Amino acid sequence: MKRKRAPNPTMAAVPHSGWTAGWTAKHIVISGLAAAAIVFEIYSPSLHGPFLLDDLYLPFMHPDADRLPIQGWLGSRPLLMVSFWFNYQLSGVDPVSYHVGNVALHLVAGLIAFLLLRKLLELAGEPDRGRDLLAAFGAGWFLLHPLQTEAVAYVASRSDVLSTLLAYLALLVFLRRQTQPMGVAKAVLVLFLFVCAGLTKQHAVVLPALFLLADYFWNPGFTLEGIRRNWKLHAPVMVGAVLGTALAFRMVRYDLSAGFRVREFTWYEYFFTQCRVFWLYIRLLILPAGQNADPEFAISRSLADPGAAIGLAGIVVLLGLAWWFRKRFPLAAFGVLFFVICLMPTSSFVPIRDPIAERRLYLPMLGFILIVLDLGRRLPVKRNALAGGMTAVLLLLGWLTYSRAQVWSSAFALWEDTAAKSPRKVRPRFQLAYAYYQEQRCAEASREFAHAARLDAPDTTLLVDWGLSLDCEGKLEQALIPLQQAAGKEPSAHIHSTIGMVYAKLGRYQEAMLALNRAQAIDDAYSMTFVYRGNVLAATGDWGKAKEQYQQALQRDQRNSVALQSLQLAERQLQGR
């Protein structure tokens, strides 16, 4: 008599006494609407937040944005830029529309995360009665975790949200096939979604590795058979990944902020640093305290630096444990490998000037959630107790995210928080000073610019803005000092014309004219040089020549509103004589 074969431990169900049947489509719709209301309420403080940092360099901020054809928007991330183009058509440069768009995309990504988690729980053998509760908790974690705030509240980080949405959708379609060998139609759809994700942000090149990993784990389970059966999909996807990686390297070839031309550290120093950053990310996922938009983080110059070797050894051990226990804890093992693979584009060997950023966890987040779910589904507790515990966790995460969204509600709130947490870093202090200057809080701006200049050798931008804030404060003689330092570092028409403006306010007209002549010699097309020269002539009573200078300014820039107003004033003065 043959013995009955033992069930595959990978696919064995984990029992939960008293759990009810799975959700219907009605339950999912109602829950989705409730989630939408909750998420928009939690992110409501950030919806009126301003454009910050890289937002200011996006196409919709271009002076000629309304005249740019659609192809002028595309750049290296065309799908991302198309989404911004639609926002611009709806609301121009009103930031509310862009923030609402980010939150809406975050919600869609959360829904796809729910469906993906439910499918992975099914593949892991979780019965219907527990699958939906666990998937809902995982999707709630994804939507409400405060580490997601930077990706959602920072407009430029739509690249992370939209590319992750597309990547998760591609993986969901890949896993929801009816037969183990994927049909042509679904294979084409998966390939299309992969390309779309890559055209939104280049970190989507990891998708082929995730497809291979999924086929190994779940089709039919810890064998290479699934990969062999789907080689017709894997082959073109891998080719696409190679081409995408090559294109990404080509794009950052001369980039000083990302790629091997970053000056702050070498590729191996960046790797050693990431061995420590990895564990900081894990800590923030478990205990999201001390979030920081621009953290101070020491660079590990060698493996001997404190924490680098331990961090690397810990990652190796974690990967080893995931592989060793892949059959006993399939979801957790898959989650570990998923998390590491998704972090690799930003947290391995390719240097990025900022060694750490919370938004980089948006794509890998699902991997960590799978670890949590695999451990949670094994807890020997009844459904009501588990559901109550999960609800408490989500309420806490929602409250923390609401608090973090308040930080992103204004430039002042964000940079005051960041400068307090990174007191030795120049950028947060500079951004805080610039926020003060934009609100014409000139004395506070001057104080913060001076503080930033003490932290490190100031660059030209800082010196010019510092000089302008001192000019705004009425400290004209002091304003000349940083402006002249800036001119010595990097002479430009803008800097010399600003020096001429300050001299004119001091009544030192001869020195003002000399500075303005230098500005014109550097760049005859800079219109403000002629405006300031006109102002000097007007101050000496020569309105006729002042008018000529304002006309010269408008010939160079017809949209110069200051030149137009000054010209109208000069014409009135001449008519009144």
Residue-range domain boundaries for the chain:
25-407, 412-575
Phi, psi (5° rounding) for residue 479?
Answer: -65, -30
What's CA 259's distance to the chain center, in Å?
A: 17
268 Cβ neighbours under 8 A, 6+ residues apart: 349
For 270, the token pair is: 């960046």
pLDDT at 5: 40
C-beta of residue 446 within 8 angstroms of C-beta of residue 473: yes
Residue type present at position 319: L
CA angle 392, 396, 401 (to 5 degrees): 145
From CA 324, how far away is CA 147, in angstroms rounded? 30
Cis peptide before 306, with omega less than 30 degrees from 0? no
For 230, the token pair is: 């789907």
pTM across the whole model: 0.89
Question: DSSP code of 377?
Answer: T
C-beta of residue 337 within 8 angstroms of C-beta of residue 139: no
Place of tokens 């050894």: 313
Residue type present at position 496: H
CATH number belonging to the domain at 412-575, selected among 3.30.465.10, 1.25.40.10, 3.90.79.10, 3.40.50.920: 1.25.40.10
From CA 256, how far away is CA 417, in angstroms rounded? 27
For 151, the token pair is: 């990706």
Positions in the chain whose pLDDT score sits under 50: 1-21
pLDDT at 389: 93
pLDDT at 10: 43
For 353, the token pair is: 């000037």
pLDDT tens across 132-141, in order?
899 999 999 9
pLDDT at 183: 79
From CA 404, how far away is CA 476, in angstroms rounded? 39
For 17, the token pair is: 């006494």
Determine the length of the chain.
Answer: 577
From CA 521, how far away is CA 493, in angstroms rounded? 8
From CA 215, how far away is CA 223, in angstroms rounded? 8
From CA 291, how far away is CA 280, in angstroms rounded? 11
Strand partners, 352: 258
Residue type present at position 260: F
From CA 65, how far away is CA 84, in angstroms rounded? 11
State in Å, rounded, how far the first CA of the chain is from the last one.
120
From CA 505, how far away is CA 471, in angstroms rounded? 9
pLDDT tens across 107-122, in order?
999 999 999 999 999 9
From CA 174, how far away is CA 226, in angstroms rounded? 12
C-beta of residue 418 within 8 angstroms of C-beta of residue 294: yes
Strand partners, 258: 352
Residue type present at position 506: L
For 362, the token pair is: 């948006």
What's CA 312's distance to the chain center, in Å?
A: 26
For 319, the token pair is: 């990967």
